[in-house]
Chain A
Amino acid sequence: MKAIIAATVLAILMMYAGFVVKEKKTILSIATLLLAVLLGVNIYELLTMQEGATIALFQYQLTITRFSVWFNMLMTAATLLYVLLMGNDIIKVGKHTGEYFALFFFILVGTYLLSSFNNMLIMFLGIEIISIPQYILAGSDKRNLKSSEASLKYLLMGAFSTGILLMGITLIYGATGEFNISKFSFLQMEYINPMVLTGVLFLIISYSFKISAAPMHFWTPDVYDGSPTPFTAFMATIGKTAAFIGFIRLFHTSFASISQSWTIVLAIITAATLFVGNITAVFQQSVKRMLAYSSIAQAGFMLFSVVSVSALSWQGLVIYGVAYTIATLGIFAVLLKLKDFTFDGFNGLAKKNPFLAGVTTIFIFSLAGIPLTAGFMAKFYMLQAAVRQGNLMWLVIFALLMAAVSAYYYFRVIIAMFFKTGEPEISELSGAQKFLLVLTALLVIVLGIAPQLLLPSGI
């Protein structure tokens, strides 16, 4: 709760800083500072919380556990890392720099809500608080028509899915008379009310929009491609992970008891997502667009955490979310240094700048799930959760085949960097940026060797 309040207050501060300060660099420094403060508040909240404690606030509308606080902390840290890595590119996007940073704080508020809601009203507000700023961020490059188009598309799709989400909530309310997600009484009934099933289906569809799962993924490539690149990085990572925590929280808290009736639907969605994301990513010529499709594919893997109902899946989601976020942020940070976003733009990077090529290799390895990187451990946890589920072996094997396909397009970047010749245009790297990239790459490897760092005992 402290973090939610702090994030709101800091967002307002950030907004005013945007009015008062004109120098963009200063705004960036202020944003970094405020994010660090927010991270501090998160850590403080984590430390002051007793092990195993569950704090229920406002008549059980929020239940804050150590897990949710830990997740919030990780997301805040990821945002801080994001701002550190790409701050200089964020301030180049448009004129309203202070406002953009304020929007990040608002998105964090939404994330905090989604990690600890216990009432569907809070969930709904959390999703909207995450979504509306993202529509704005997508359209923030006003000189560029593609950005405006991305924004419009995102808005229409988002609003449409909100409508579906609300219908789902309403149907479930109609069947149970309850908005509190831990009080739904499905088990007491002799048979499952069809209204509940329809409601769950609507919720699945709506969340599929938010996390860009097939067949509701079609907006993703255009939106991610059109949005200003730094904001694409944010939407594809932290925005997506936040939607996932809401998804898993709702489905595993309240619908776990009727899981046999919806896991099959979700398993098919997962398979479709993996298929569409990976196969279409193969045919892309632009790395940015490839990353957009690969983010669909990665969402397919993250869906495993929702499909398989066990304590392991929450851990898997944390690891996957963080691993994917870090690696993708790293790739985007490198991408922003290049002038040409196609695969050919990477040609000969290893010769021209071995440092950039080296860190990119680590990020690519992580995304492709090569051992000793965080991405591998993430996939491992997900698959373990799914195998434990028992009847999902077909999905696991399909996912592994798709992971091999993903190696194909990820390795195209490596082939371009190391084995092709070219003269890539690179903008100058400052020492601090180098340091941060090294730090990110190290993080990827450390988490690949010791993933339990992300899951300390007692969360």
Chain B
Amino acid sequence: MPIQYYLFLSLALFCIGVMGALMRRNAIIIFMSIELMLNAVNLLLAAFSKMYNDSAAQIFVFFIMVVAAAEVAVGLAIIVMVYRKVHSVDVNILNRLKH
């Protein structure tokens, strides 16, 4: 299995994540798209790890998961806080409120 395949796959997932983050208005979905981006990175790292026969990359993946978990904890708390105030998680509504 050439490494290119994994490269293309994870870049595709990454770009889908980017698209999602740019397209959607729902803050939770944007956040999920970002998780998708992180997973694409994880997959690529695992593939490289196999290619170089180096377990450091897998450790890196492990740490990305750790950080993602921490970010999700904070992020969802923030989203819930915003939701409590405006009863919406629509980023466009937030932009409108500013003016």
Tell whether any CB of A sits under 8 Å from a CB of B in the complex.
yes
Chain A: minimal CB distance from B40 (Å)? 7
Render B77-88 as a binary contact track against A, CB cut-off 8 A, 1 for contact: 011011001100
Among A152, A173, A177, residue most surrounded by chain B Cβ atoms (within 10 Å): A152
List the one stretch of A35-43, A138-146, A339-347 in contact with chain B. A138-146
Chain A: minimal CB distance from B62 (Å)? 10
Render B31-59 as a binary contact track against A, CB cut-off 8 A, 1 for contact: 10010011011001100100110101101
Known: A124-B67, A155-B78, A162-B71. A167 touches B48 (CB 8 A): no
Pick the contact of A166: B41, B70, B75, B98 (CB < 8 A): B41
Contact B63 A135 (CB under 8 A): no
Chain B: minimal CB distance from A256 (Å)? 23
Chain A: minimal CB distance from B57 (Å)? 6
B residues less than 8 Å from A156 (CB atoms)? 21, 27, 30-31, 34, 91
A residues less than 8 Å from B71 (CB atoms)? 128, 132, 155, 159, 162
Question: Is A170's CB within 8 Å of the partner chain B?
Answer: yes
B residues less than 8 Å from A163 (CB atoms)? 14, 17-18, 34, 37-38, 41
Main secondary structure of the interface of A (DSSP, over half): helix
Question: Is A174's CB within 8 Å of the partner chain B?
Answer: yes
Interface residue count on the A side (C-beta < 8 Å): 33
Chain A: minimal CB distance from B23 (Å)? 13
Question: Is B74's CB within 8 Å of the partner chain A?
Answer: yes
Contact A132 B74 (CB under 8 A): yes
Render A141-172 as a binary contact track against B, CB cut-off 8 A, 1 for contact: 01001101101110110011011101101110
A residues less than 8 Å from B79 (CB atoms)? 152
Chain B: minimal CB distance from A96 (Å)? 13
Pick the contact of B45: A148, A162, A170 (CB < 8 A): A170
Contact A152 B94 (CB under 8 A): yes
Contact A170 B74 (CB under 8 A): no
Among B38, B44, B67, residue most surrounded by chain A Cβ atoms (within 10 Å): B67
Question: Is B60's CB within 8 Å of the partner chain A?
Answer: yes
**Complexed CA–CA distance, A121 and B21 (Å):** 25
B residues less than 8 Å from A177 (CB atoms)? 48, 52, 54
Question: Is A222's CB within 8 Å of the partner chain B?
Answer: yes
Contact A145 B85 (CB under 8 A): yes
Chain B: minimal CB distance from A358 (Å)? 35
A-B contact pairs, 17 of them (CB 8 A): A132-B71, A132-B74, A136-B74, A146-B98, A149-B94, A152-B79, A152-B82, A155-B75, A156-B31, A159-B71, A162-B38, A163-B17, A166-B64, A167-B41, A173-B45, A177-B52, A177-B54
Residues of B within 8 A of A (CB): 3, 7, 14, 17-18, 21, 27, 30-31, 34, 37-38, 40-41, 44-45, 48, 51-52, 54, 56-57, 59-60, 63-64, 67, 70-71, 74-75, 78-79, 81-82, 85-86, 91, 94, 97-98
Query: When A and B form their complex, which 4 residue pairs have the shortest distance between CB atoms, in order from nearest?
Result: A163-B37, A166-B41, A177-B52, A159-B34
